[in-house]
Structure 1
Amino acid sequence: MSKVRFGILSTARIARTTLIPAMERAYNVEVVAIASESGKAEDATKELGIPKHYDSYTALLKDPDIDAVYIPLPNQLHKKWAIEAARYGKHVLCEKPAALTSQDVEEIAAVFVEHNVIFMEAFMYQFHPQHNRVKEIVASGEIGELTLIRSTFSFPHDMNPNDIRLNRELGGGVIYDVGCYCIHTSRMIAGEEPVAVTAAARIHPTHDVDMTAAGVLTFESGVMAAFDCSFEQLFKEKYEVVGTKGSILVKRAYRPDKHGGNGVIEVETETGQREEVIQGDQYKLQVEHFADCVLTNSQPIYSEEETIKNMRVIEQLLEDVRSKHEDSGN
Structure 2
Amino acid sequence: MKNTINWGILGDSSIAKKAVIPAIQRSKYAEVVAIASQKGAPQETAEEFNIAKAYSSYNQLLADSQVDVIYLPLPNALHKQWVIEAALKGKHILCEKPAALTSAEAEEMIMACRQKNVQFMEAFMYQFHLQHRRVQEIIASGEIGKVKQMNSSFTYLLNLEEDNIRLNQNLGGGSLYDVGCYCIHASRSILQVEPISVYCEANIDSRTNVDVTVQGVLSFPENVVATFTCSFEQFPMNDYEIIGTKGKIVVPHAFRPDKRNGVGEIIVTTNDGERSEKIETDQYRAQIEYFSSVILEQTEPIYNGQQTIQNMRIMDACFQSMSQKSRVEVTS
Q: TM-score range by the shorter chain?
A: over 0.9
* 1:161 Cα deviation from its structure 2 partner: 3.5
The 5 A counterparts of 1:265-284 are 265-284=266-285
For residues 37 and 57 of structure 1, what CA distance do their matches in structure 2 show?
7
Deviations 1:219-267 (A, max 9, x none): 0122100111110011111100000000000010000001110000100
Write the deviation string for residues 111-167 of structure 1: whole angstroms up to 9, x where unpaired.
111111100000000000000000000011000000000000100002353211101
Q: Distance in 2 between matches of 1:39 and 1:189?
A: 38
Establish whether residue 312 from structure 1 lines up as the match of residue 313 from structure 2. Answer: yes
Determine if contact 1:264/1:276 at 8 Å carries over to the other structure. yes
Q: Which amino acid aligns with 1:142?
A: E
How many Å separate the matches in 1 of 2:246 and 2:171? 44
Q: Does 1:26 align with 2:27?
A: yes
| Partner-residue secondary structure (3-state), 2:222 | coil
Aligned counterparts of 2:119 and 2:49: Cα–Cα separation in 1: 26
Aligned to 2:145: 144
Task: State the AA in 2 paired with 1:112.
Answer: C
What's 1:5 paired with?
A: 6
Q: How does 1:211-290 map to 2 (within 5 A)?
A: 211-290=212-291
Q: Secondary structure in 2 aligned to 1:27?
A: coil
Q: Label 1:229 to 1:39 Cα distance change in 2 as closer, same or farther (>3 A).
A: closer
Unaligned runs of 5+ in 1: 326-330
Query: Per the alignment, in what secondary structure is the counterpart of residue 235 of structure 1?
Result: strand
Other-structure match for 1:78? 79
> Matches of 1:113 and 1:192 in 2, distance apart?
25
Aligned 1:34-53 pairs, distance under 5 A: 34-38=35-39, 40-53=41-54
Residue 189 of structure 2 aligns to a residue whose secondary structure is helix
* Structure-1 residue corresponding to 2:171: 170
**CA shift at 1:38, angstroms?**
1.9
Contact 1:145 1:244 in 2 (8 A): yes
- C-alpha distance in 2 between matches for 1:309 and 1:28: 31
Name the amino acid aligned to 2:13. A
Are the aligned partners of 1:190 and 1:223 in contact in 2 as well (CA < 8 Å)? no
User: 2 CA distance for matches of 1:134 and 1:123?
Assistant: 17
**Counterpart position of 1:206:** 207
Task: Output the amino acid matched with 1:255.
Answer: R
Coordinate RMSD, CA, aligned? 1.0
Give SS of 2:325's match.
Answer: helix
CA displacement 1:2-38 (0-9 Å, x = unmatched): 1110010111011011100000111010000100112
2:216 counterpart letter in structure 1: G
Aligned counterpart, 2:181: 180
Quote the Cα distance in structure 2 between the aligned partners of 1:204 and 1:229: 14
Report percent identity of matched pairs: 49
| CA-CA distance at 1:39 after TM superposition | 5.3
How far off is 1:75 after superposition?
A: 0.3
Q: Distance in 1 between matches of 2:308 and 2:246?
A: 32
TM-score for both structures, normalised by structure 2: 0.96
Q: Work out the CA distance in 1 between the residues paired with 2:274 and 2:162.
A: 45
How far, CA to CA, are the matches of 2:223 and 2:142 in structure 1? 17
Looking at structure 2, the residues matched to 186 and 3 of structure 1 have their Cα atoms a distance apart, in angstroms, of 34
Residue correspondences, number: 325
Instruction: Please say if residues 12 and 40 of structure 2, whose CA atoms lie closer than 8 Å, have aligned partners that are also in contact.
Output: no
- 2:124 equivalent in structure 1: 123
**Code of the aligned partner of 1:287:** I
Asked whether the equivalents of residues 130 and 265 of structure 1 are also in contact (C-alpha less than 8 Å), the reply is: yes
Q: How does 1:57-72 map to 2 (within 5 A)?
A: 57-72=58-73
Query: Residue by residue, what CA displacement relative to the aligned partner does 1:92-119 show, whole Å, maximum 9, x if unpaired?
Result: 0000000101011111111111111100
